[in-house]
Chain A
Amino acid sequence: MKIELKALSHTYDVEVLRDLSITLSDYKAVAIIGMSGSGKSTLLRILSGLERPTVGTVHVNGHDVTNPEYRKQVGFVFQHHALFPHLSLLRNITLILEKTRGYSPDQARARAMELLDLLHLADQVHKLPKHVSGGQAQRGSIARALSLDPEVVFLDEPTSALDPILTHDVLSAITELRDIGKGFVLVSHVMNFVRSFADYVIYMHQGKMAEHGVPTILDDPRSSELQDFMSKVPDCTFR
C-alpha cells in the first residue's frame, strides 16, 4: 500500500489538520493514534475519500482520493457498525453487491457467505444487527467492507463502542485478516493491538504528525507529546 500526502491541511471551523506531508510505501497496516480532537479521524476520512481535503493532495495507491471513482475501491468500517438495521447481516452485503456492483443474486449470496464465514458469522447470517452482539455486528460490517474487494480497508476506532471482551473478539478477527492481501489503515486506542498489527504508526497531536515510524516508537517515544500520550493511555487486554 502506498500513501502520499502533500501539504495537506483541513479546516472545519478551526484548522484540524495542518500542512501534513508524508510518503509511505510498502506498509501493509498503518495505525493512526492520538487523543480525541487530534485530527486522526479526519485524516482517516480524507484518506478514505469520505471527505475532501481543504488544501493539498492525497494519493492512496496512486489514486487521487478526491476522484469519485476512488470511493468505490475502499472499504470503511465505522465506530458503530453502521449496518442497515432493517436488513439481516447477509442482506446488508448482498443488497450492496446487487444494487451497486451488478452482481446476480446468486453471485452476491455466494460472495457474502464466503466473507461472513471468514469472519466466523456463518451461523448468524439471517439475523438482524440488533439480534447479534456488538462484536458480531462489527465483524459483519468488516465482512461488508471486504465484500467490495477494496484495495484498502479503513477502520475508524472499530472497537471504541465495545466492552473489553467484544473488543478482543473483533480485534482477533481483524488480526486474522492481516495477510489477505489488503492494505489497512486504522485508528485505534488499543495499543497492544496497534503494536502487533500495524507495521507503521502515526501519532497525531493538534493536527500535526508529532511522531511516526515503526511500532517500536510506542515503547521508546522520542517526542514529549507521545511520551505523555503513552503514559496516559491504558494498556488494554488484547494480546
Chain B
Amino acid sequence: MKPTLRPGPEVATKRRELGGAYLWHILAIATFALFAWFVVMRQRQPFDLSTIEPYRDAIAAGFGRTLWVSLVSLVASTTLGFVFYLLSTSRVGYFRAFTAVFTEIIYGTPLLVMIMIMAFVIGPAFGSTNRSLMGFIGLIVYITPYMTNIFRSAIASISSEQYMAMDLFGFTPYQRYRYIIVPQVVRILMPPLMNNFSLIIKGSALLNVLSYRELFYEVSLMTNNTFRFVEGFLLMWGLYLLITIPLSQLTKWIDWRWGL
C-alpha cells in the first residue's frame, strides 16, 4: 500500500481523471449505439416495435418470472453457500472432502448440463416430473460453490492480527461477530454477491429449455409466431442489460462507498 501524505492534489487529479473517463464512456456508449442502429437498419424488414405489442403482457410476465427465479436462487444459493462454507471449515474431514469434491464437480460442469441432469436424471430418480422446478434447483446448486467461495475469501480477509487484537482487548465471542467480523464481512461480501446475482440472472435464461416461461422463453414463443426476431431479441437483450448493468454499477458504488 502506498501511503498518502498529502491527499489534496491527488484527489484533484483523481477528479480530473474521472471527468475525462465520463467523456470517454459517453463516446464508447455512442459507438455501441451506432453499431446497434447500423445492424437494425441493415434488416430487410423495417424495425417496428409495435408488431410485438400484442405480446407485451406475456413478455412482461416472463421478465417478472426471470427476476423472481433469480431472486429466489440468490437467497437459496447464498444460504446453501454459507452452509457449505461452514462444512468446508469443519473439523470432520469427510465434510471438508465432501465440499471440495462437490466444488470440483460443479466448476467442471456447464450450467446447461447441470440443469438437464437435474431435470431428466436426478429429478425422476426422486420421483419428480416437474422439470422446471428441478432445473430451478439445478441453478441453485450450480451457484452454491461460487457463493461458498465468496464467503471463504471474505472471512479470510480479516487479518490474523485483528483476531489477536480482539483477543487482547477481551472481546466476547458475541462482540467479535457483532462489532468486528460481521460488519467487515458484509462489506467485503457485497460486490461479489452482486456479481453472482448477475451470473444467476444470465443463467436463468437457460431454464427456457425446460419450457419454464421466463423472459427468453416468452420472447422465443413470440418470435416463432410473428417472425419478428430483430425486435424480439433486441428487446430481450435490452431487458437483461436493464437489470445487469445497473446492478454492476450499484456494485461499484457500494464498493466505493463502503469497501474496506
Residues in B neighbouring A34, C-beta threshold 8 A: none
Name the distance in Å between A123's Cβ and chain B's nearest Cβ: 12
Name the distance in Å between A133's Cβ and chain B's nearest Cβ: 4
Q: Are A50 and B164 in contact (CB under 8 A)?
A: yes
Task: Return the chain B residue nearest A45 by Cβ.
Answer: B164
Q: Are A133 and B170 in contact (CB under 8 A)?
A: no
- Encoded as 1 (CB less than 8 Å from any A CB) or 0, chain B from 155 to 197 comes to 0000101101101111100010001100110010000000000
Name the distance in Å between B143's Cβ and chain A's nearest Cβ: 27
In this complex, the member of A74, A79, A82 whose beta carbon has the largest number of chain B beta carbons within 10 angstroms is A82
Q: Are B3 and A133 in contact (CB under 8 A)?
A: yes
Q: Given the known A-B contacts A50-B164, A85-B184, are A96 and B3 also in contact in the complex, defined by CB atoms under 8 Å? A: no
A78 to B165, CA, bound (A): 9
Name the distance in Å between A173's Cβ and chain B's nearest Cβ: 15
Residues in B neighbouring A148, C-beta threshold 8 A: 169
Q: Are B161 and A80 in contact (CB under 8 A)?
A: yes
Q: Are B161 and A79 in contact (CB under 8 A)?
A: yes
Residues in B neighbouring A76, C-beta threshold 8 A: 164-165, 168
Task: Return the chain B residue nearest A74 by Cβ.
Answer: B168
- What's the dominant secondary structure at chain B's contact region? helix
Tell me the B212-260 residues at the A interface (CB within 8 Å).
260
Interface: A71 (CB within 8 A): yes
A130 to B187, CA, bound (A): 15
Name the distance in Å between B138's Cβ and chain A's nearest Cβ: 37
A165 to B175, CA, bound (A): 37
Q: Are A100 and B171 in contact (CB under 8 A)?
A: yes
Q: Are B260 and A86 in contact (CB under 8 A)?
A: yes
Q: Are B260 and A71 in contact (CB under 8 A)?
A: no
A84 to B165, CA, bound (A): 9
Name the distance in Å between A137's Cβ and chain B's nearest Cβ: 8
Q: Given the known A-B contacts A71-B170, A96-B169, A100-B170, are A82 and B164 also in contact in the complex, defined by CB atoms under 8 Å? A: yes
- Interchain CB contact (< 8 A) of B159 among A72, A82, A96: A82
Interface: A99 (CB within 8 A): yes
Interface: A166 (CB within 8 A): yes
Q: Are A133 and B168 in contact (CB under 8 A)?
A: no
Q: Given the known A-B contacts A133-B3, A133-B5, are A72 and B167 also in contact in the complex, defined by CB atoms under 8 Å? A: no
Residues in A neighbouring B184, C-beta threshold 8 A: 84-86
- Encoded as 1 (CB less than 8 Å from any B CB) or 0, chain A from 48 to 63 comes to 1110000000000000
Q: Given the known A-B contacts A71-B167, A72-B170, A148-B169, are A99 and B179 also in contact in the complex, defined by CB atoms under 8 Å? A: yes
Q: Are A86 and B170 in contact (CB under 8 A)?
A: no
Q: Are A71 and B171 in contact (CB under 8 A)?
A: no
A163 to B5, CA, bound (A): 12
Tell me the B93-125 residues at the A interface (CB within 8 Å).
none
Q: Are B165 and A99 in contact (CB under 8 A)?
A: no
Tell me the A100-133 residues at the B interface (CB within 8 Å).
100, 130-131, 133
Residues in B neighbouring A95, C-beta threshold 8 A: 179
In this complex, the member of B4, B5, B169 whose beta carbon has the largest number of chain A beta carbons within 10 angstroms is B169
Q: Are B170 and A80 in contact (CB under 8 A)?
A: no
A100 to B171, CA, bound (A): 6
Residues in B neighbouring A50, C-beta threshold 8 A: 164, 167-168
Tell me the A73-100 residues at the B interface (CB within 8 Å).
74, 76, 78-80, 82, 84-86, 95-96, 99-100
A233 to B164, CA, bound (A): 29
- Interchain CB contact (< 8 A) of B3 among A71, A82, A84, A135: A135
Residues in A neighbouring B175, C-beta threshold 8 A: 99-100
- Interchain CB contact (< 8 A) of A82 among B7, B165, B170: B165
Task: List 14 interface pairs A-B (beta carbons < 8 Å), by A numbering.
Answer: A49-B168, A50-B168, A71-B170, A76-B165, A76-B168, A80-B159, A82-B162, A82-B165, A84-B180, A86-B187, A96-B169, A100-B170, A100-B175, A134-B1
3 smallest beta-carbon distances between A and B, as pairs: A82-B161, A133-B3, A134-B3
